[in-house]
Amino acid sequence: MQLCEIENVVRDFVVTNFLFGQPIDLRPDESLLDRGIIDSTGVLEIIAFLEERYSIKVDDHDVTPVNLGSISNISAFVGRKLERAA
């Protein structure tokens, strides 16, 4: 699976579940927390979505802004998890 495909899926999830379909100018590398798009509960929702959608396990030590702070970080994190599982 290509990162751009993962990024599109993650962006769609964020827009649908946190922005309720409202269009917003959000760069892939922009912090979701700093923009106020998600909070700690939102992080948990994203984790649940990723685990279900991609059949991956997000461990406690994975829950960092480097992995889950932006759409591009999330996409890269999922890509790494999928590569390890292959």
pLDDT of residue 2 exceeding 80, the answer is yes
Residue extents of the structural domains in the chain: 3-85
Q: What is the pLDDT of residue 37?
A: 95
Report the distance separating Cα 86 and Cα 84, nearest Å: 6
Report the distance separating Cα 70 and Cα 85, nearest Å: 23
pLDDT of residue 23 exceeding 90, the answer is no
Report the distance separating Cα 11 and Cα 29, nearest Å: 11
pLDDT of residue 24 exceeding 90, the answer is no
CA atoms within 13 A of residue 30's CA, in its CB half-sphere = 13
Q: Other CB atoms closer than 10 Å to residue 3's CB: what's the count?
A: 14
pLDDT of residue 22 exceeding 90, the answer is no
Return the CATH fold of 3-85. 1.10.1200
At 41-73, the pLDDT tens digits run 999 999 999 999 999 999 999 999 999 999 999
Tokens of 3: 């990162």
